[in-house]
Amino acid sequence: MNSVKTLPEFASLTDEDIEKALDELDELSEEELSANVHPILAELERLIGAYSERFEALCDENGEVPAEILTFEPEKPIEQAAFDIFSDALHDSLQEEDDQED
């Protein structure tokens, strides 16, 4: 997970900048979303995809959920926000798998 880094132009964003962009997400049209007109949201999407790809690679290498996922601490606020979104989606996915097994 340490190999996932934000682009330099997003490294100085604050938590407030990111929260504002996420709040604006609800106001964007489908066309605006698909065109990635909001650069912060586009970077979040890129980071989430990178975390997902890295997670899948680690699972393929280890055959199980890697311990690294439990101890990873992103360096920048935008990396933290993307990792939190990724982690929530992963948790939901694993929970759904557990529910289906019951």
By the 10 Å C-beta count (0-12 exposed, 13-18 middle, 19+ buried), 81 is classed as buried
Kindly state the percentage of the chain with pLDDT values over 90: 53
Q: What average pLDDT does the segment 49-66 reach?
A: 89
Is 90 exceeded by the pLDDT of residue 27? no
Q: Does residue 2 belong to any structural domain of this protein?
A: no
Q: Does residue 3 belong to any structural domain of this protein?
A: no
- Enclosing domain of residue 55: 8-101
Domain count, the chain: 1
Is 80 exceeded by the pLDDT of residue 98? no
Average confidence score pLDDT of the chain: 87
Q: Which residues of 55-75 are buried (b: 16+ CB within 10 A; e: fewer)?
A: beebeeeeeeebeebeebebe
Q: Does residue 37 belong to any structural domain of this protein?
A: yes
Is 70 exceeded by the pLDDT of residue 1? yes
Q: Does residue 32 belong to any structural domain of this protein?
A: yes
Positive/negative CA dihedral, 23, 20, 39, 11 = negative
Q: Which residues of 18-45 are buried (b: 16+ CB within 10 A; e: fewer)?
A: beebeeeeeeeeeeeeeeeebebbbbbe
Say how far apart CA 55 and CA 65 lie, in whole Å. Answer: 8
Q: Does residue 49 belong to any structural domain of this protein?
A: yes
